[in-house]
Amino acid sequence: MHRIAVIPGDGIGPEVIEQALLVLDKVSSKFGVKFEYIFIDAGGCAIDKYGVPIREEDLELVKKCEATLLGAVGGPKWDGLPGNLRPEQALLKLRGGLKVYANLRPAVLYDELKDSSPLKKEIVDKGIDILVVRELIGGMYFGPKGREVKNGDEVAYDTEVYSKSEVRRIAKVAFEAARKRKKKVTSVDKANILESSRLWRETVEEVAKNYPDVELAHMYVDNASMQLVKDPSQFDVILTSNMFGDILSDEASMIVGSIGMLASASLGEGSVGLYEPIHGTAPDIAGQDLANPIATILSAAMMLRYSFEMEDAAKAIENAVKIALKEGYRTKDIYTENCKLVGTKQMGKIICENI
């Protein structure tokens, strides 16, 4: 029996989580394993209910679970609130509280969805299969920040800060992952300008010594943002900081043409993990049975793989998704001519049936 903290969140969050849970139920009966779901409010809905993005007692509850499955949090409704009262604060508290320092974001181009990529056929035909390994609990997100008045001028600051030990542990994750893939790590930084990037680069070099079988390349972040569009097939594992990873993983998700398909796992020491789709709350389509549940369903698959060591079940889900796509089922975001348009619920149902 596995205890899972389930955080539906805001916007389309609850709808996509619902389908992921149905998939987990199917896995449960098929693989003879039990899941207990602990539902937690976090994000905008928690602000509305309790006045805070996540209550301390709820954070403690989450920490006691084996893994967390999250939909999405945030929305324009809460955008005007001060920094510490925003829905996103719940995400930071969860990430920091669970100490999940390694955010794994696979950006894979599905053959069936090639037409949805904004890139030209020549580029896309070379294939895209990138794993972004983003540091998740350091850098500017968590460094000292504040505001002050200096000579009558208001000043605000954030600090990008990294220690060698932080870089070392995330670099290890990237190299280990690369070993199971195409054996290439591209570490992205801005070492020509940032002191923190220089420490990053040095430390990555040190870690690389233990992985002589993995090729290491360094790339400046401005160049990386170009190369992702120019020739994404050159990348295997991209290793980068929290801030740069935020930008580049979104770019990577766009070039595969289907942010509604992309899952993520955030891992710490041991088997703890936070699993969430890469997409946001999409308030404009919330509650209309239009959202694509696949990213969340694939996040659940990642949970089975990384937190519960249920590789077979994870593969069964991934396979079921592929079959649904092959059979031509598409939610609106990935719809192209001659496919079968389905809603959130039907897509979930079809995937369940394929397991």
Residues that bind a copy of itself (CB under 8 A): 74, 79, 83, 86, 88, 92, 117-121, 123, 140-141, 143, 145-147, 150, 153-165, 190, 192-200, 221-223, 225-226, 229-230, 243-244, 246-251, 253-255, 259
Asked if 55 and 260 count as a contact pair (C-beta separation under 8 A), the reply is no
Q: Which of 84, 151, 165, 192 is close enough to bind ligand IPM by CB under 6 A?
A: 192
Nearer to a copy of itself, 113 or 140 (CB): 140
Is 251 a binding residue for ligand IPM by CB under 6 A? The answer is no
The token duo for 228 is 């992702």
Chain positions 301 to 340 lying near ligand IPM, rule: CB under 6 A, are none
Chain positions 114 to 133 lying near ligand IPM, rule: CB under 6 A, are none
Is 246 a binding residue for ligand IPM by CB under 6 A? The answer is yes
315 is in an annotated binding site: no
Amino acid at 307: S
Strands of 2-9's sheet in order across = 35-39, 2-9, 67-72, 273-277, 263-267, 102-108, 129-135, 237-240, 184-189, 215-220
What is the DSSP secondary-structure string of 230-258?
A: H-GGG-SEEEE-HHHHHHHHHHHHHHTT-
Q: Which residues is 237 bridged to in the sheet?
A: 131, 185
Q: Which residues are catalytic?
A: 141, 190, 222, 246, 250
- How many whole angstroms from its chain centre is CA 32? 28
Nearer to ligand IPM, 220 or 335 (CB): 220
First to last CA, the chain: 20
CB of 33 to ligand IPM, least distance (A): 29
Return the number of other C-beta atoms located less than 10 Å from residue 294's C-beta: 28
Is 284 a binding residue for ligand IPM by CB under 6 A? The answer is no
Within 8 A by CB and 6+ apart from 27, the residues are 33, 304, 310, 313, 316, 317, 355
CB of 127 to ligand IPM, least distance (A): 24
CB of 353 to a copy of itself, least distance (A): 32
The token duo for 65 is 């679970």
Q: Which of 18, 88, 176, 318 is close enough to bind ligand IPM by CB under 6 A?
A: 88
Is 222 a binding residue for ligand IPM by CB under 6 A? The answer is yes
Is 91 a binding residue for ligand IPM by CB under 6 A? The answer is yes
200 is in an annotated binding site: no
Radius of gyration of the chain from its Cα atoms, rounded to whole angstroms: 20
199 is in an annotated binding site: no
Rounded distance between C-alpha atoms, residue 103 and residue 318, angstroms: 19
Is 84 a binding residue for ligand IPM by CB under 6 A? The answer is no
Please tell me the number of Cα atoms within 13 Å of 230 on its side-chain side.
7
3 is in an annotated binding site: no
**Which residues fall in the annotated binding site for substrate?**
95, 105, 134, 222
**Which residues fall in the annotated binding site for NAD(+)?**
75-88
**Which residues fall in the annotated binding site?**
75-88, 95, 105, 134, 222, 246, 250
Binding positions for ligand IPM, rule: CB under 6 A? 74, 88, 91, 192-193, 222, 246
